[in-house]
Amino acid sequence: MKRKWVIVGKKNSGKTTVADFIEGKKDKKSSSLDLYYRENTIEVPSEYLEVNYLNNIIIMISQNHAIGTLFILSAEDDVVYPPNFGKSFTRPTATIITKIDLVNKDKLEKIYKKALEIGANNIFLISNKTRKGLVELNNFIKDVSLSEVHY
């Protein structure tokens, strides 16, 4: 089975938009309580993050099926990940802060502090509207995906 990017985040945080970016095409899926497998991504429903005992399933899926795991935080949200959750993963991790064009600098600083608490290897700030940060995110995804070929 081909390894994929596991994408975790709250509902309306931008998970599907990030998945569409990685896939290179839009998908018209509706919200689901199931894992959503695509060619290069696995979207994890928000309930897996919101219910503590389901956090272990996220780790297991990432360990067994992932190239890497992407934690999505919307700049508008107050979602809380377990402290240092990113350190539970053996493959590359990144936190992606989405919708940065919709908040002021103070709010962005607060959400950035939350992103640091996740403990992922990398943090990216993106806006689909202004396209800010998408080149850096794309380079990270390509670099990690290429290194996976050598496993």
Q: What pLDDT does residue 151 have?
A: 46
- Characterize the bridge pairing of strands 36-37 and 41-44: antiparallel
pLDDT, tens digit, 9 for 90 and up, residues 113-136: 999 999 999 999 999 889 999 999
Q: Is residue 49 pLDDT above 90, yes or no? A: no
Q: What pLDDT does residue 149 have?
A: 57
Q: 134-149 vs 15-23: helix axis angle to the nearest 10?
A: 60
Domain count, the chain: 1
Q: What pLDDT does residue 9 have?
A: 92
pLDDT, tens digit, 9 for 90 and up, residues 71-110: 999 988 777 788 999 999 999 999 999 999 999 999 999 9
The CATH number of whichever domain residue 113 belongs to comes to: 3.40.50.300
Give dist(CA 76, CA 12) in Å, integer.
Answer: 10
Q: Spell out the residues 6+ positions from residue 31 whose beta carbon is closer than 8 angstroms to its own.
A: 11, 45
Q: What percent of the chain has pLDDT over 70?
A: 95
Q: What percent of the chain has pLDDT over 90?
A: 72
- Which stretch of 3-12, 25-34, 39-48, 93-102 has the lowest confidence by average pLDDT? 25-34
User: pLDDT confidence of 145, banded at 50, 70, 90?
Assistant: confident
Q: Structural domain of residue 124, as residue ranges?
A: 4-149
